[in-house]
Amino acid sequence: MSVLVFAESTGGALKKAAFEAVTYGYKTAQVLGTDCVALTLGEVENPGQLGTYGASKVLTASDLTLNDFDGQVYTDVIGQVAEQIGATVVILMHSSTGKSLVGRLSARLNAGSAPGVNTLPTNDGAFRVKKNVFSGKAIAQVEISSPVKVLSVMGNSFQPETVGAEVSAEGVSVNVPARKVTVKEVNRVKGTVPLPEAELVVSAGRGMKGPENWAIIEEMAEILGAATACSRPVADTHWRPHHEHVGQTGVAIRPNLYFAIGISGAIQHLAGVNNSKVIVVINKDPEAPFFKAADYGICADLFDVVPKLNQALKDFYSNN
């Protein structure tokens, strides 16, 4: 019996979300009175650091064919490791890779699943976790009754904690099946923060009047080290790329700070962002529904306010 965490890597590097998942795995293992084992796939730099975040053991399957993602192959390999170590809980990140694996792995292991959890499991005889449903408009408590459980943990719900020390990673012996998917090309947006992982997000809507006015938004994102996002009408009219669209039919995010600039706050947009820790709304319409969901509001013309805010932010960062 143990908790197995698949710690995802990108281009051989482990990122913050992987550390979050390991800390979540460590805490889950504590609840269940067992150990947390982390697994990396493909060539990964310094997997032993996962010990710091709570893995008592780090296993690596470094077969080169695992450098590129193939859901069928990954599922099989993670499934084999879960069986080898007798894992009762398998934890994934709720990233696009994790989300592509959670269902498949639960079918493979005949395990009940809960995707996108944001609480630790209960330990009162029943295994229950909570997750957002209806695109963040409600929370569901899910009970898993099977001996093996598969969870994916929502990003930014648990912060990585230094609870242990580095360990030396051990190679694990697995049978890597032949790939059926060939990766031809990978294009990652360079130099910017990927939206689903961003802790700070600057988002703008139709109030911007046109794509040519986005310089002030990009400037603000640069000062903050934030990701940029937009509302659906903005993506639909191609003012901004589709991958920036947050909302019910776009990306759902939960950053620490969300700036909504010139976005009225339709229910579908709120559904994708209302789990942000702090929301700042800038809108010239005092009746904009977004103010009801905001922590801080500025009712003014964004073209006046945003340059002033950018200056205030610059001053802040140069003094801190």
Partner 1 sequence: MKLLVCVSKTPDTTAKISFNADHSEFNEEGIQFIMNPYDEWYALVRAIELKEAAGGTVTLINIGPASNDQIIRKGLAIGADDAVRIDCQPKSSLFVAKQIAEFAKEGGYDMVFCGKETIDYNGSEVGGMVAEYLGQPFISYATEMTLDGTTATIKRDIEGGKETIEVATPFVLSAAKGLAEQRIPNMRGIMQARRKQIDVRQPVAFDDLSTVVSYEMPPAKAECKMIDPDNMTELVRLLHEEAKVI
Q: Which of 50, 41, 33 is nearest to 9 (CA)?
A: 41
Residue 112 or 164: which CB sits closer to partner 1?
112
Q: How far is the CB of 228 from partner 1 (least distance, A)?
A: 13
In this structure, the strands spanning 9-10 and 278-283 are unpaired
The Cα 201–Cα 11 span in angstroms is 24
Q: Is 230 in contact with 244 (CB distance < 8 Å)?
A: yes
Q: Give 151's strand partners.
A: 91, 114
The Cα 101–Cα 94 span in angstroms is 9
Q: Is 164 helix (H, G, I), strand (E, B) or coil?
A: coil
Residue 99 or 206: which CB sits closer to partner 1?
99
Residue 27 or 131: which CB sits closer to partner 1?
131
Q: How far is the CB of 210 from partner 1 (least distance, A)?
A: 22
The label of the residue with tokens 């109030």 reads: 207
Residue 3 or 148: which CB sits closer to partner 1?
148
Q: How far is the CB of 299 from partner 1 (least distance, A)?
A: 7
Q: How far is CA 270 from the centre of its chain?
A: 18
Q: Which of 283, 279, 280 is nearest to 302 (CA)?
A: 283
Residue 35 or 244: which CB sits closer to partner 1?
244
Q: How far is the CB of 167 from partner 1 (least distance, A)?
A: 26
Residue 87 or 102: which CB sits closer to partner 1?
102
Q: How far is the CB of 128 from partner 1 (least distance, A)?
A: 7
Instruction: Give, for 21, the enclosing helix (H) or strand (E).
Output: helix 16-32
Q: Is 3 helix (H, G, I), strand (E, B) or coil?
A: strand
Secondary structure (H, E, C), 203-264: EECHHHCCHHHCHHHHHHHHHHCCEEEECHHHHHCCCCCHHHEECCCCECCCCCEEEEECCC
Tokens representing 305 are 């306010």
Residue 51 or 79: which CB sits closer to partner 1?
79
The phi and psi torsions of 297 (rounded to 5 degrees) equal: -130, 145
Residue 1 or 134: which CB sits closer to partner 1?
134
The Cα 141–Cα 123 span in angstroms is 14
Tokens representing 39 are 């697994």
Q: How far is the CB of 126 from partner 1 (least distance, A)?
A: 8
Q: How far is the CB of 199 from partner 1 (least distance, A)?
A: 8
Q: How far is the CB of 214 from partner 1 (least distance, A)?
A: 19
Q: How far is the CB of 42 from partner 1 (least distance, A)?
A: 14
Tokens representing 60 are 């690596």
Residue 171 or 181: which CB sits closer to partner 1?
181
